[in-house]
Amino acid sequence: MHTTVGIIGAGPAGLLLARLLHRAGIDSVVLESRDRDYVEQRQRAGILEQATVDALRAAGAGGRLDAEGIPHDGIELRHGGRATRIDFPGLTGGRRVWVYAQTEVVKDLVALQLAEGGPLHFEAEVTAVHGADTDRPTIRYTHQGRERILSCDYVVGCDGFHGVTRQAVPAAERRTHERVYPYSWLGILADAPPVYDELIYAHSERGFALASMRSPSVSRLYLQVPNGTDPADWPDERIWDELDARLALRDTAGARLHRGPVTQKSVLPMRSSVTEPMRWGRVFLAGDAAHIVPPTGAKGLNLAAADVIVLARAFAHHRATGSTELLDAYSDTCLRRVWRAEHFSYFMTTTLHTDPGQSGFETRLQLSQLDRIADSRHAATELAENYTGLPLDPV
């Protein structure tokens, strides 16, 4: 079997890339190790930047997003008894973000791909990528109990943080820069109306808390917990009591923690990681396969989308002109945005969480930084521009 672009992984990066290539008349095959149900139910991101929304629309996947996605024009930051609204359009010249769950993005893209795209194989586990520095790289995978080979003009690893494609870049040429944080998030989904009509990010001496949402009747809530926490140690009432204490909502009009049935509970560790370069020969890395961020800046899914927008455009340019200029620039182009998002995610994480070994000095620095954001339009603008994302050229 042969294809132009072999795509490993059917997360947001792989699925969006397949759609954008299809639109550009370039054929591809997507190989995904998990089954469809698993991929569609995996609870993850919730915030889409303008550029991500534009790309989904351009990929033909904007219908349900436009009907059900909730535009957000700000977030609230809480610290030391203060509540600060960050007004996105007012500070950025009109930019905003959307609440639309990653599960829904994936469902929309899978349905489109199966209806009118190239092959998308679930339960097709890739074991190795060979020949990155040749004209015909190959993907070795197992499907329906048989070992198979897919030969490609190009291979794109969209196989997430634990994927295998990274190994196709020789170890001597690959650099990984990493930071692991001394805390995790306990995340829940609850059948309860959202705490507030915007997201609330709360600094507290008890640890960070975040109140997000999935719909007008479903809340998504997070608590900072120690690494290694067992969710079983957090019965529902303990979670609600802790959210109550950390969010400290008393003085925000209209904000209220509604307790309801908890339908999902999990612990996620936090890490920053970047692998460079993002391209070796005819193998490209995109999304979490190349970089991950702690979720505090809501950047992971948006970075994955930005990578494949840049890459799809480079493939289309190559097809139209024969020039490899944009493909050659792919890694450098993406890494500039990636490192900006890494910095912002690190900043949000270390400013809002309480490190277990943190001194009073460090806590005062955090509070001073949060005061600065509350008091200075300049500091708030810096946050708003980063949160809503750097503009991308139109798809």
Return the active site residues: 72, 201, 295, 299, 387
194 binds ligand RFL, rule: CB under 6 A: no
Both structure tokens of 216: 């007008």
Closest to ligand PHB by CB, 75 vs 124, is 75
Strand positions, DSSP E, the chain:
2-8, 28-31, 47-49, 70-72, 74-79, 82-87, 97-99, 120-121, 124-130, 138-143, 146-157, 175-190, 199-202, 209-215, 218-226, 262-276, 279-280, 283-285, 291-292
Q: Pick one of ligand PHB, ligand RFL, none as the site partner of residue 326 (Cβ within 5 to 8 A by kind).
A: none
Task: Return the residue of 45, 270, 289, 290 that touches ligand PHB, per CB under 6 A.
Answer: 45
Long-range contacts of 176-180 (CB under 8 A, 24+ apart): 176/273, 176/274, 176/275, 176/276, 177/273, 177/274, 177/276, 178/271, 178/272, 178/273, 178/274, 179/271, 179/272, 179/273, 179/346, 180/269, 180/270, 180/271
Task: Return the residue of 298, 312, 314, 316 that touches ligand RFL, per CB under 6 A.
Answer: 298
DSSP 230-286: -GGG--HHHHHHHHHHHH--TTSTT-------EEEEEEEEEEEEEEE-SEETTEEE-
- For residue 101, the minimal CB distance to ligand PHB (Å) is 7
210 binds ligand RFL, rule: CB under 6 A: no
199 binds ligand RFL, rule: CB under 6 A: no
Closest to ligand RFL by CB, 118 vs 295, is 295
Task: Return the residue of 77, 109, 126, 190 that touches ligand RFL, per CB under 6 A.
Answer: 126
Tell me how many residues contact ligand PHB (CB under 6 A): 9
CB count within 10 Å of CB 220 equals 21
267 binds ligand PHB, rule: CB under 6 A: no
Q: What are phi and psi of 7, to 5 degrees?
A: -110, 125
Both structure tokens of 329: 């620039």
341 binds ligand RFL, rule: CB under 6 A: no
6 binds ligand RFL, rule: CB under 6 A: no
Interface positions, 214-233, toward ligand PHB (CB under 6 A)? 220
194 binds ligand PHB, rule: CB under 6 A: no
Task: Return the residue of 22, 79, 95, 299 that touches ligand RFL, per CB under 6 A.
Answer: 299
C-alpha 307/C-alpha 17 separation (Å) is: 9
265 binds ligand RFL, rule: CB under 6 A: no
Query: Under DSSP, is residue 78 helix (H, G, I), strand (E, B) or coil?
Result: strand
Q: Pick one of ligand RFL, ligand PHB, none as the site partner of residue 200 (Cβ within 5 to 8 A by kind).
A: none
- For residue 194, the minimal CB distance to ligand PHB (Å) is 10
DSSP code, position 59: T
Task: Return the residue of 295, 327, 330, 373 that touches ligand PHB, per CB under 6 A.
Answer: 295
- For residue 98, the minimal CB distance to ligand RFL (Å) is 11
Which residues form the interface with ligand RFL (CB under 6 A)? 8-14, 31-34, 39, 44-47, 102, 125-126, 158-160, 163-164, 187, 268, 287-288, 295, 298-302, 304
